[in-house]
């Protein structure tokens, strides 16, 4: 019985690692997201009018979302590609900021991003402010480490019955 549990645990671990790498997106060649870095990029404030909304796969993410939402914003002299986050998590922002609406954004960019790309920390539309990332730039939709809702969250069938969540 002891060997069965060890083999079962090893099998589950292999499946979890394989599934995690299958769902993870490539990102910009960085191993971790910006929230886990000690040095944070400067936050800049930009204002402009939304000229287009794009929803689809994002090549610049380190997250696991299958599709991301972007606003193309005309800021006077330049057009920027504003990365919001997973479309399901930012649906309220997309509704509040249709094409033609003026917005103000607190955002950042890294050296590996194209010069016209920014990631939104917060978006202000009229008198409403949508906070998308906290002060450490961690997305508001991201569960904390070990607090996810996946198979390893410890709240599945058998929790506290002696056979769930622990090997």
Tell me the CATH number at 79.
2.40.50.140
- The domain of 63 spans 34-131
Would 11 be classed as within a structural domain? no
What average pLDDT score do residues 10-26 get? Answer: 41
Residue 147 has pLDDT above 50, yes or no: no
Would 7 be classed as within a structural domain? no
The pair of three-digit structure tokens given for residue 121, joined into one six-digit string: 């920390």
Would 49 be classed as within a structural domain? yes
Tell me the pairing of strands 128-131 and 117-125: antiparallel
Would 113 be classed as within a structural domain? yes
Would 83 be classed as within a structural domain? yes
Q: What CA–CA distances, in Å, run from 164 to 15, 16, 32, 160?
A: 18, 16, 30, 7
pLDDT of 110 reads: 86
The number of domains in the chain is 1
Would 10 be classed as within a structural domain? no
The pair of three-digit structure tokens given for residue 115, joined into one six-digit string: 């010069």
Residue 41 has pLDDT above 60, yes or no: yes
- DSSP secondary structure of 61-95: --S--S-EEEEEEE-SS-EEEEEEEETTTTHHHHH
pLDDT of 141 reads: 85
Q: How far, in Å, CA of 74 to CA of 108, rounded?
A: 16
pLDDT tens-digit readout, 76-110 = 889 999 999 998 899 999 999 999 999 999 999 98
pLDDT of 60 reads: 58
């Amino acid at each position: 019985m002891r060997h069965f549990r060890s083999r079962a645990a090893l099998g589950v671990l292999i499946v979890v690692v394989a599934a995690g790498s299958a769902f993870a997106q490539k990102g910009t060649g960085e191993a971790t997201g910006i929230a886990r870095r000690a040095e944070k990029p400067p936050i800049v404030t930009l204002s402009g009018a939304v000229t287009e909304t794009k929803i689809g796969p994002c090549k610049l993410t380190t997250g696991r979302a299958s599709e991301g939402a972007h606003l193309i914003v005309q800021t006077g002299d330049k057009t920027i590609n504003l990365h919001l986050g997973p479309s399901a998590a930012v649906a309220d922002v997309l509704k509040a900021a249709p094409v033609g609406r003026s917005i103000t954004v607190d955002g950042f960019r890294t050296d590996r991003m194209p010069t016209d790309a920014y990631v939104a920390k917060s978006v202000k539309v009229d008198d409403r402010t949508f906070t998308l990332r906290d002060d450490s730039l961690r997305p508001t939709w991201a569960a904390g480490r070990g607090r996810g809702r996946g198979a390893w969250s410890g709240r599945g069938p058998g929790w506290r019955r002696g056979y769930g969540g622990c090997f």
